[in-house]
Amino acid sequence: MNRRILLLVLALLVLAGCAIQRGRDGHIDRQSRPYKLVGYVTPAKDFPRLDAEKLSAINFAFAHIDVNGNVALKQAEDTELLAQLVALKARNPALKILLSIGGWGLDGFSDAALSEASRARFADSAARVLARHRLDGVDIDWEYPTLPGPGIVHRTEDKRNFTLLLQAVRTRFDALAREQGRAAGDPYLITAALADREFVAGIELDRVGRVLDWINLMTYDFHGSLTATTGHHSALARSATSAPDERSVEAAVKQFLDAGVAARKLVVGVPFYGKGFIGAQPANHGLDQPFTGRVPMYAWSQLAGMIDRNGYVRYWDEQAKEPYLWNAATREFVSYDDPQSLALKAEYVRTNRLGGVMYWEQNNDPDGTLFNALAHTLR
């Protein structure tokens, strides 16, 4: 072979190799995208429009754990909704549909993880649900191991048992993949929604990180009913006026990286909703001030009609890279994300070569304004 042709062939092979991503077990996955865009979807009367071609994964929220420790759908209508999501794979064969199990206030995890028998029961039931509905995996949303939550059973043993539960699910899912004849480079997925700071104390993060395909990092709700002041509930960086130990996306990512979690397994979470704080002190346009009451959630569809209207003035925190609203007449401070702040978060993911971005949740952004800001930056 001519030397020039040989060099050209070798160069093309190298370029092809760079373009191909490899799956969890090292097998080639030609459908992989460099950055994941993962969306949560909850049941709704009018199912949201989903841009399947731009999504990496959809998490359907939520399944629950029944009295026998089995994973189960909450209502009969969920079967049809899951079928609609699976049908989107016709438009995007690389799209993964996962069933999210848990959510705030869901009981049953501590009991399900307690023994080898209970873990096997949980894993077997999860595998049956996957096979029945032709899903690609599960997302575990245990809020939170070892902690009481709103009346849920909790134990100090949850820390070790959480790891053992995930390992049991991994073993069962790998067996299911063989039973189903699933391609070697396309395993059933296991992800988890995890929080930062004190919530990490109840998890063997280094071990959990090795079992999970990726982590949906819940980098939102930093300010709310449990905080003494207003503040950005999903700040990229610490605000100049906030406390030195202020929570932020940057701080959360650092905590997980320092614990040994691979950067490409960290999927940064962003909210498609805002939070209102009523009766805030007027200094600093209400930012980082005491308050007397709350509005737990404003969907983005509501916020879009509030910005710079009816006394709500938009401000931009350059250090935190976050917008906020201040209504001087009503003394209401509103923390939220918009296309500008979301694009900056997506760029942060790219710069630091993280796994991607996750958002909660699709019904709050019916016209796709926030979604498109993420998709455009991550593409």
Q: Is 157 a catalytic residue?
A: no
Among residues 266, 114, 269, 136, the alpha carbon closest in space to that of 205 is found at: 266
| Helical axes 158-180 vs 116-133, angle rounded to 10° | 40
Give the residue ranges of DSSP H helices in the chain.
3-19, 77-87, 109-112, 116-133, 158-180, 205-211, 249-258, 300-303, 339-351, 369-378
Q: Contact 138/100 with Cβ under 8 angstroms?
A: yes
| Helical axes 339-351 vs 249-258, angle rounded to 10° | 20
Q: Which of 53, 77, 116, 143 is catalytic?
A: 143
Q: Please state, in angstroms and rounded to a whole number, the distance separating the CA atoms of residues 248 and 251.
A: 5
Amino acid symbol at 108: G
HSE-up of residue 362 (Cα within 13 Å, Cβ side): 22
Instruction: Using CB atoms within 10 Å of the CB of residue 121, give its burial: 0 to 12 exposed, 13 to 18 middle, 19+ buried.
Output: middle
**Is residue 224 classed as helix, strand or coil in its secondary structure?**
coil
Strand partners, 61: 100
Q: Contact 97/60 with Cβ under 8 angstroms?
A: yes
Q: Please state, in angstroms and rounded to a whole number, the distance separating the CA atoms of residues 251 and 358.
A: 17
Ramachandran bin of 149, using left for φ above 0, alpha for ψ from -120 to 50, beta for the remaining angles: left
Beta 356-360 vs 266-271: how paired, if at all? parallel
Active-site residue numbers?
A: 143
